[in-house]
Structures are given as structure tokens and as C-alpha cells.
Amino acid sequence: MKKAKRKNTKATHGPKILDGKKIGEEIKAELKVKIEELKEKGVVPGLAVVLVGDNPASKVYVSNKRKTCEELGIRSFAYDLPKTTTEDELITLIKELNANPEVHGILVQSPIEGRDIDEDKIIELIEPNKDVDGFHPINKGRLLNGQDCFVACTPAGIVELLIRYGYRPEGKHVVIVGRSNIVGKPLATLLVQKSEWGNATVTVCHTRTRNLSTITKSADILVAAIGQPEFITGRMVKEGCVVVDVGVNRVEDPSRKSGYRLVGDVHFDSVAKKARAITPVPGGVGPMTIAMLMKNTVKSAEKYLLSREK
């Protein structure tokens, strides 16, 4: 009798790639259905994206947001203002957008490069019901209280990505490196909520944190939002952790036509050897951020429809 051939049981190693591009596409497909429903009821979701100045990275972000609006059938209101724009001029525009019933979301791209413009003042002027970036203090306060609100798109995208891949944060120790107002702090707030997408135990680290590696090594889920290329290395993570890399850093690369390439805050190769799952850069958190912006805009349009029907 012939001996049965031995099966090749060699495990294929390597972490699961948390593909933000793929999940972002899924979310956009879901949104398209909702957008059609809204249109049938006479509401076309509208997003105003305001760019002041000519920061190259901002231009790319703004163009991606507008293209995604077009792709989904969201009406895009584009305002590209020169560096010479004054605070008063920008205030006038925001007030007009607040009053325009066809605009359901308003986003002013940061950094605002105009003449001595107070960014906080501008954000606070946006009608909270149209603040689809989730940066208005009212939305941040409502998030802290566990109330319905617009959640900042990057933190919302991170949680959505984890959950759609089955890595629910509940009961896990999530370590976030970075405490910015747009990523670290709102993400921590979201994750500690008593809710189906929260219930995590959260540690937030920053430049004054002592023994950073000891803390990052204790993470079940590690989020790097630092802004330092490839800062988190393999020796800083524990075997089997889930790693989310928020960082987008340009590093010189003469082999590329552009002269640079994008890397995250995580040293992918060394961390991937130990992680159970990891987000790539690009293609991880970035596309999720845009998808969540579209989701917030549709949510705002739905709320508008409800208020009109009352």
C-alpha cells in the first residue's frame, strides 16, 4: 500500500493585514445605498471642504475627500482660499455655510494657513450639527458624556476597522502612544465608553511617559499616533498584539519619482514578526478616516431630513 503523502502542515506565518482600503470600500458601498434613499426623499448630502493656503499634504487630503464625495454622490462644495485670507473673511464663509440648508457637513482643513487665523475660533464657529470632523467642543463634550455626537473621523475609523476584523476592544488593554486632540485623546475617550465598541482599559502615552517600552509591551492593542517615522519597533510590542499605525510620514527616497515614500509610526517589518494583526501604511487608517467622514456627512443629512419631516 502506498504511503499517504504527508500534508504540508507548515504554517504560513505573518500577521493579518488590517486592510483599511477594503473595509473603507465596504463602508462606502453601504453609504451609497443610504445616499440613494436620501435622494429619493429629496435630500442630496452635501459636504463643504475649505482649504486655506497651499500646503501640499493638505491639498492631497482635500482632493481625496472631494473625489470620494463625487464617487458616492455626495455634493461637494469646494472652497480653495489663498494664504492672504483674513480671519473675518473665513468667519463670513463659515456663517454662510452654517446657514446653507444644502450643506450638511463643514470641514476646514488643518493647518489653516491664512493671515493670523485662530483655528480654535473657526472650529467653534462651525454649527455643531454640521461638524462632521467631530472637532467642535460640543461634539467632544458629548463624546465624553457618552451622548450621540459626531466622533472625530480617525478615532472612529480605527475602532470600526478593529471591530470589522473581529478585534473588539472590550476588556482589552489598549495602549495609545500620542495624546493629540484629533487622534489620541478622542480615541481614548471612545474606547473607555461603556458601549459595545468601548469597554477597553486604556493607557495614553506621550513624551513625558516613563518606561514607554514596558507599557507598550503590555498592550493587547497598540495604537501609534506619534508622527515619528518607524518609532515603534519589534522589541516594544508583545507577541500576539494587534497594532494600529496612524502615522503618515514622508521620508526621503531617491529611488522614487516623487523623491519620497510614506512610512508609518511603526517599524512594519520588525513589528509584523510579533503582531497578530497590523495596519499597513498607506492603506490602513487613512482610507478609514475618509470613509468615516463620508459616514458622518450622511448621518448629518439623515438628521436634517428627520428635522424637516417633523
Window of 31-39, 71-79, 284-292, 293-301 that interacts with ligand NDP by CB under 6 A: 284-292
Exposure of 80 in the CB half-sphere (CA atoms within 13 A):
10
Q: How far is CA 164 from the centre of its chain?
A: 15
Check residue 226 for interaction with ligand NDP (CB under 6 A).
Answer: yes
Check residue 236 for interaction with ligand NDP (CB under 6 A).
Answer: no
Check residue 189 for interaction with ligand NDP (CB under 6 A).
Answer: no
Is 65 annotated in the active site? yes
Window of 42-50, 101-109, 123-131, 246-254 that interacts with ligand NDP by CB under 6 A: 246-254
Q: Which is nearer to ligand NDP, 93 or 122 (CB)?
A: 122
Rounded-to-integer distance, Cα 210 and Cα 299, Å: 41
Which of 291, 288, 162 is closest to 223 using CA atoms? 162
Taking CA atoms, 141 is separated from 38, 83, 189, 294, in Å, by 29, 32, 10, 22
Q: How far is CA 258 from the centre of its chain?
A: 25
3 exposure class (CB count in 10 Å sphere: 0-12, 13-18, 19+): exposed
Check residue 232 for interaction with ligand NDP (CB under 6 A).
Answer: no
Question: How many CB atoms are closer than 10 A to CB 302?
Answer: 17
Is 147 annotated in the active site? no
Binder among 289, 296, 297, 300 for ligand NDP (CB under 6 A): 289
Binder among 227, 233, 262, 302 for ligand NDP (CB under 6 A): 227
Rounded-to-integer distance, Cα 86 and Cα 174, Å: 42
Check residue 190 for interaction with ligand NDP (CB under 6 A).
Answer: no
For 107-125, b/e burial (b = at least 16 CB within 10 A) is bbbbebbbeebeeeebbeb
For 242-256, b/e burial (b = at least 16 CB within 10 A) is bbbbbbbbeeeeeee
Catalytic residue among 28, 65, 172, 299: 65
Is 185 annotated in the active site? no
Which residues, numbered 247-266, are part of the site for ligand NDP (CB under 6 A)?
247-249, 265
Rounded-to-integer distance, Cα 87 and Cα 300, Å: 26
Check residue 186 for interaction with ligand NDP (CB under 6 A).
Answer: no
Window of 10-18, 81-89, 221-229, 235-243 that interacts with ligand NDP by CB under 6 A: 221-229
Window of 11-19, 118-126, 130-138, 244-252 that interacts with ligand NDP by CB under 6 A: 244-252
H runs (alpha helix) in 77-130: 87-99, 119-125
Window of 8-16, 187-195, 222-230, 293-301 that interacts with ligand NDP by CB under 6 A: 222-230
Check residue 97 for interaction with ligand NDP (CB under 6 A).
Answer: no
Which of 36, 23, 66 is closest to 294 using CA atoms? 66
Check residue 246 for interaction with ligand NDP (CB under 6 A).
Answer: yes
For 24-37, b/e burial (b = at least 16 CB within 10 A) is beebbeebbebbee
Binder among 64, 180, 218, 270 for ligand NDP (CB under 6 A): 180
Check residue 206 for interaction with ligand NDP (CB under 6 A).
Answer: yes
Check residue 182 for interaction with ligand NDP (CB under 6 A).
Answer: yes
Q: Which residues are catalytic?
A: 65, 109, 133
Question: Which residues of the shown chain bind ligand NDP in the complex (CB under 6 A)?
Answer: 154, 177-180, 182-184, 205-209, 212, 225-228, 246-249, 265, 285-286, 289
